[in-house]
A and B are shown apart, each in its own frame.
Chain A
């Protein structure tokens, strides 16, 4: 630690930080634009000027950029010296000469870092009276709106997009006053992480286009801490609502999980909440228009009476919801809502983490890894933020080059200059080309069996006691040896795999590689990806796969089926589900959006989405995370667990649980694997200074007027019995415990950059620790290996063997009900090896009718050069495509 002095205050700081970081961490307000905790310093905006003194006797000092000076021992600086303040005022005035001052019509207004910094720097009077340069704006796709005139040339956008996220279709053009940030030509931004430009841009050049369509100022949003529902990573978000619709998703900082960023599916997939396919009515037989709640429940209690009831839960429903359903129907009658194959895969991966000796890493751990081996996953499509973390991880082995040259890691430009495009080892084995291939050291494209065999070979070269699969080509052996050596040559190797290539062998092989590295003394971690937001939770809860439940139901003559938040047609082929469903007298479906399954229901009960519900998800790391209801809907759409309790109370099985805390406590107390989840956030009676934490800001406007059509008198605020949050502006507005952060704000800091004030030190942990609880930690130290080496892939005589191909936009259920995501999804497709395509006389973009297990689907042909011969890469999760993904046949 270095002793330094800022504004006369003596501080002990990390000498590996710069003076800007030290000043902000110490609570001093120094304005800045180009610096970002994740992007480092480049000293381009000249806004963070401070005065640095040679020693105690130096009373004059000199102006320096605090972001470009190390916080070295004995540094003495003043952020408030008149020269520094004058310098900063001049800089902001110059930066603002071309800014259009269009805040009233700018989407960023009110949460704009430029506004905050302009005020902070004291530039309140504009003297520039000449013509301003103007630019044409570009169409950048359905996510991002472009307004270049507002630009202040901080270069953050290109540094984030290119250097951090690995995109290459956004750049800076021209020079001097004409500098332009955009694309070479108009078009969709290709990076899966483009949405972060909204938060990275200090002003309104890049703004959220989905928000623009129903724009609401930050202070008019009702916001609550939430968890993304669109994959298994569980990024922390802040969801904002007004007038009954969710308006936008913002990232919620969690150092251990998503840090500052989100992927585009997570940020722009939210509009299924506002969809016109939302279920808001109670449907019973004979009434398609809907009946009253009491009529619906009367019907249910009559038709359930004396009947055997079985229940299907869901990996996209909260832990509490699945638990409530399991309680309602009984353990022996509960299904996790997954097909046998999918459940086996998920269970294998979860059990491997629970019973194995290797740690499942947080995304922060991933970012600190040094070498990476990915087996069977296109991570960018299946767990996007994990891919972004891998992009950072592979820089770790080359970064010490800068240390040797005496350049601190925060000094971004020279560090990049030294590193150039060098990176540490990233080896990818996958069935199809992946979106990380551009930074891969080696790629190996083959069938899942062969990927597993490569994995086992790698494990063998790490620990020669393990079996080397027989019949490997020399090429594969050499590759395996190289991968093994690369993993062994770093201290922190990371193995990534998952359920998405539908192969238990790949999951097992990944575990064997990780275990072998562990026994070689490496600090190795093993990250599995899963399909949905609560796949891990429902798997840990345990239940039956769909086939088992339905087959037993046939023999036990169960009459009533309850399905919660699950579209079974996404789990198994249409014919099978049709047959299964036909055996029930009543099919009661609880869901928030219309699906093929709700269309088959006899009774449909409306329930809330994530924004109308409290709940807990367990992410792919094994971290339990809480999400909170954002607003009180005008529709009757309660949480599914509450709805299930109502169902129970309408029958002979009343629930003792009444509120969210009751449910989550029941889960924690009755099931040891979930111990502690009730305490991952403060209980509902938690108060700060005698108040609940407010979901609305102190500036929230129109609260009386907005409901005047119902009653001219202001309606009584709804009391939230489930959480420590209040639904209105009444309540505590300061910094709440991290799990209850409804928005980031601090005096003078209205933008998302106010997060600085919530961290112990900038870019580090939140005050009081980051929220969430890891439920899975390796407990055993003994090595156990699977060593179940599969036969090599053989081309089937019957047809092409299907491998599912995932798309970040298109494969996930909920986001594909959102217009912006639909625009990016494209049609269902089949990928073919060039030789297979040639044999069938097919070319790119041909329309083709394919049959998987007899289920027909019309798809587009894509020639995939990397795909192995004999395989067909079929778009997973697209409408009509049989989710079972067995052999595929087609006729032209």
Chain B
């Protein structure tokens, strides 16, 4: 069941589009904002709210890599794996993250704090390697810098 707050926020989006179906992406983002991810049940509830089929909602949800259809931790680490970051030491950074957190791409730490995912290009090649944690962008990454960054997320 979607919460009253979620439904309210989604309905706010309806005003911005000619059809309420067009608010599909925003609706998914609202749900994700409140729940970190979008479950099968949420997909069905959204389908009802937007008068679409679950298949149509899920088609959109699964297309976008930043809509999470599986549970994620409190903070999602999006590590850039495009070519500039690769040249500038992605592998060292990745190994360090894997060792420190004890997880690989697509996994979540046991304390539910971090989920790590690859992302192709954050548009900051001049400061590679780069990553996003939660909503914050970090650049010119080194193992030392990473320890400091991770410690700041509780």
Q: How near does chain A come to B76, taking the closest CB pair, in angstroms?
A: 18
Of the candidate stretches A166-174, A442-450, A583-591, the one touching chain B is A166-174
Alpha-carbon distance A170/B58, docked complex (angstroms):
11
- In the assembled complex, A185 has its CB within 8 A of some CB on chain B: yes
Residues of B within 8 A of A168 (CB): 52-53, 55-56
- In the assembled complex, B17 has its CB within 8 A of some CB on chain A: no
Tell me if A171 and B59 are in contact (CB < 8 A).
Answer: yes
- In the assembled complex, B28 has its CB within 8 A of some CB on chain A: no
Given the known inter-chain contacts A184-B43, A185-B40, please indicate yes or no for A169 contacting B59, CB distance below 8 A: no
- Which listed residue, A174, A183, A421, touches B55 by the CB 8 Å rule? A183
Which residues between 61 and 92 of chain B lie within 8 Å of chain A, taking CB atoms?
A: 62-65
Q: How near does chain B come to A194, taking the closest CB pair, in angstroms?
A: 14
Q: How near does chain A come to B46, taking the closest CB pair, in angstroms?
A: 11
Which residues between 154 and 185 of chain A lie within 8 Å of chain B, taking CB atoms?
A: 168-175, 180, 183-185
- In the assembled complex, B54 has its CB within 8 A of some CB on chain A: yes
Q: How near does chain A come to B28, taking the closest CB pair, in angstroms?
A: 14
Alpha-carbon distance A172/B43, docked complex (angstroms):
15
Given the known inter-chain contacts A171-B59, A173-B59, please indicate yes or no for A184 contacting B54, CB distance below 8 A: yes
Tell me if A173 and B63 are in contact (CB < 8 A).
Answer: yes
Tell me if B58 and A169 are in contact (CB < 8 A).
Answer: no
What residue in chain B is nearest A178 (Cβ atoms)?
Answer: B62
Q: How near does chain A come to B39, taking the closest CB pair, in angstroms?
A: 12
Query: CB-CB contacts of B31-60 with A at 8 A, as 1s and 0s?
Result: 000000000100100000000111111110
Tell me if A170 and B65 are in contact (CB < 8 A).
Answer: no
Which residues between 1 and 25 of chain B lie within 8 Å of chain A, taking CB atoms?
A: 19
Total CB contacts across the A-B interface at under 8 A: 36
Q: How near does chain B come to A654, taking the closest CB pair, in angstroms?
A: 63
Residues of A within 8 A of B57 (CB): 184
Residues of A within 8 A of B19 (CB): 420-421
Alpha-carbon distance A420/B57, docked complex (angstroms):
17
Given the known inter-chain contacts A184-B43, A185-B40, please indicate yes or no for A175 contacting B65, CB distance below 8 A: yes
Q: How near does chain A come to B96, taking the closest CB pair, in angstroms?
A: 27
Q: How near does chain A come to B23, taking the closest CB pair, in angstroms?
A: 15
Tell me if B63 and A184 are in contact (CB < 8 A).
Answer: no
Query: CB-CB contacts of A412-452 with B at 8 A, as 1s and 0s?
Result: 00000000110000000000000000000000000000000
Main secondary structure of the interface of B (DSSP, over half): helix
Alpha-carbon distance A611/B63, docked complex (angstroms):
47
What residue in chain A is nearest B59 (Cβ atoms)?
Answer: A171
Tell me if B54 and A174 are in contact (CB < 8 A).
Answer: no
Tell me if B58 and A171 are in contact (CB < 8 A).
Answer: yes
Residues of B within 8 A of A180 (CB): 62
Q: How near does chain B come to A592, taking the closest CB pair, in angstroms?
A: 40
Query: CB-CB contacts of A183-209 with B at 8 A, as 1s and 0s?
Result: 111000000000000000000000000
Tell me if A173 and B62 are in contact (CB < 8 A).
Answer: yes
Residues of B within 8 A of A169 (CB): 53, 55
What residue in chain B is nearest A183 (Cβ atoms)?
Answer: B55
Alpha-carbon distance A76/B152, docked complex (angstroms):
65
Alpha-carbon distance A180/B19, docked complex (angstroms):
27
Given the known inter-chain contacts A184-B43, A185-B40, please indicate yes or no for A170 contacting B55, CB distance below 8 A: yes
Alpha-carbon distance A180/B40, docked complex (angstroms):
17
- Which listed residue, B54, B56, B58, B63, touches A175 by the CB 8 Å rule? B63
What residue in chain A is nearest B43 (Cβ atoms)?
Answer: A184
Alpha-carbon distance A172/B56, docked complex (angstroms):
8
Alpha-carbon distance A629/B19, docked complex (angstroms):
53
Alpha-carbon distance A175/B57, docked complex (angstroms):
14
Alpha-carbon distance A825/B78, docked complex (angstroms):
50
Tell me if B55 and A171 are in contact (CB < 8 A).
Answer: yes
Residues of B within 8 A of A185 (CB): 40, 54
Residues of B within 8 A of A174 (CB): 62-63
Given the known inter-chain contacts A184-B43, A185-B40, please indicate yes or no for A173 contacting B56, CB distance below 8 A: no
Alpha-carbon distance A174/B64, docked complex (angstroms):
7
What residue in chain A is nearest B47 (Cβ atoms)?
Answer: A184
Alpha-carbon distance A432/B55, docked complex (angstroms):
27
Tell me if B63 and A171 are in contact (CB < 8 A).
Answer: no
Query: CB-CB contacts of A310-354 with B at 8 A, as 1s and 0s?
Result: 000000000000000000000000000000000000000000000
Alpha-carbon distance A185/B63, docked complex (angstroms):
16
Alpha-carbon distance A420/B22, docked complex (angstroms):
12
Residues of B within 8 A of A172 (CB): 59
Tell me if A184 and B65 are in contact (CB < 8 A).
Answer: no
What residue in chain A is nearest B54 (Cβ atoms)?
Answer: A184
Residues of A within 8 A of B59 (CB): 171-173
Residues of A within 8 A of B58 (CB): 171, 173, 184
Alpha-carbon distance A172/B59, docked complex (angstroms):
6
Residues of A within 8 A of B62 (CB): 173-175, 180
Alpha-carbon distance A421/B52, docked complex (angstroms):
13
Residues of A within 8 A of B56 (CB): 168, 171
Alpha-carbon distance A183/B56, docked complex (angstroms):
9
Q: How near does chain B come to A420, taking the closest CB pair, in angstroms?
A: 8
Alpha-carbon distance A420/B17, docked complex (angstroms):
14
What residue in chain A is nearest B57 (Cβ atoms)?
Answer: A184
Q: How near does chain A come to B120, taking the closest CB pair, in angstroms?
A: 10
Q: How near does chain A come to B43, taking the closest CB pair, in angstroms?
A: 7
Residues of A within 8 A of B65 (CB): 175
Alpha-carbon distance A174/B40, docked complex (angstroms):
15
Alpha-carbon distance A180/B55, docked complex (angstroms):
12
Residues of A within 8 A of B52 (CB): 168
Alpha-carbon distance A185/B64, docked complex (angstroms):
19
Alpha-carbon distance A171/B40, docked complex (angstroms):
15
Residues of B within 8 A of A420 (CB): 19
What residue in chain A is nearest B44 (Cβ atoms)?
Answer: A184
Residues of B within 8 A of A175 (CB): 62-65
- The winner among B43, B55, B59 for most chain A CB atoms within 10 A is B55
Residues of B within 8 A of A421 (CB): 19
- The winner among A169, A173, A184, A420 for most chain B CB atoms within 10 A is A184
Q: How near does chain A come to B38, taking the closest CB pair, in angstroms?
A: 12
Q: How near does chain A come to B106, taking the closest CB pair, in angstroms?
A: 13
Q: How near does chain B come to A621, taking the closest CB pair, in angstroms?
A: 34
Alpha-carbon distance A180/B63, docked complex (angstroms):
10
Q: How near does chain B come to A346, taking the closest CB pair, in angstroms?
A: 38
Alpha-carbon distance A173/B19, docked complex (angstroms):
22
Q: How near does chain A come to B60, taking the closest CB pair, in angstroms?
A: 9
Query: CB-CB contacts of A755-780 with B at 8 A, as 1s and 0s?
Result: 00000000000000000000000000
Residues of A within 8 A of B54 (CB): 184-185
Which residues between 231 and 271 of chain A lie within 8 Å of chain B, taking CB atoms?
A: none
Q: How near does chain A come to B55, taking the closest CB pair, in angstroms?
A: 4
Q: How near does chain A come to B121, taking the closest CB pair, in angstroms?
A: 14
Alpha-carbon distance A183/B62, docked complex (angstroms):
12
Alpha-carbon distance A398/B53, docked complex (angstroms):
24
Alpha-carbon distance A170/B55, docked complex (angstroms):
7
Alpha-carbon distance A421/B18, docked complex (angstroms):
12
Alpha-carbon distance A173/B64, docked complex (angstroms):
10
Residues of B within 8 A of A173 (CB): 58-59, 62-63
Query: CB-CB contacts of A822-845 with B at 8 A, as 1s and 0s?
Result: 000000000000000000000000
Q: How near does chain B come to A614, taking the closest CB pair, in angstroms?
A: 44
Alpha-carbon distance A185/B53, docked complex (angstroms):
12
Alpha-carbon distance A840/B59, docked complex (angstroms):
43
Alpha-carbon distance A15/B116, docked complex (angstroms):
54
Alpha-carbon distance A169/B43, docked complex (angstroms):
13
Q: How near does chain B come to A425, taking the closest CB pair, in angstroms?
A: 20
Q: How near does chain A come to B61, taking the closest CB pair, in angstroms?
A: 8
Residues of B within 8 A of A183 (CB): 55
Residues of A within 8 A of B64 (CB): 175
Alpha-carbon distance A184/B55, docked complex (angstroms):
5
Give 19 A-B contacts (CB < 8 Å), ordered by A residue.
A168-B52, A168-B55, A168-B56, A169-B53, A169-B55, A170-B55, A171-B58, A171-B59, A173-B58, A173-B62, A173-B63, A175-B62, A175-B64, A175-B65, A184-B40, A184-B54, A184-B57, A185-B40, A420-B19
Nearest 6 A/B pairs, CB to CB: A168-B53, A171-B55, A171-B59, A173-B62, A184-B55, A184-B58
Additional A-B contacts beyond A171-B56, A171-B58 (5; CB < 8 A): A171-B55, A175-B62, A175-B64, A184-B54, A185-B54
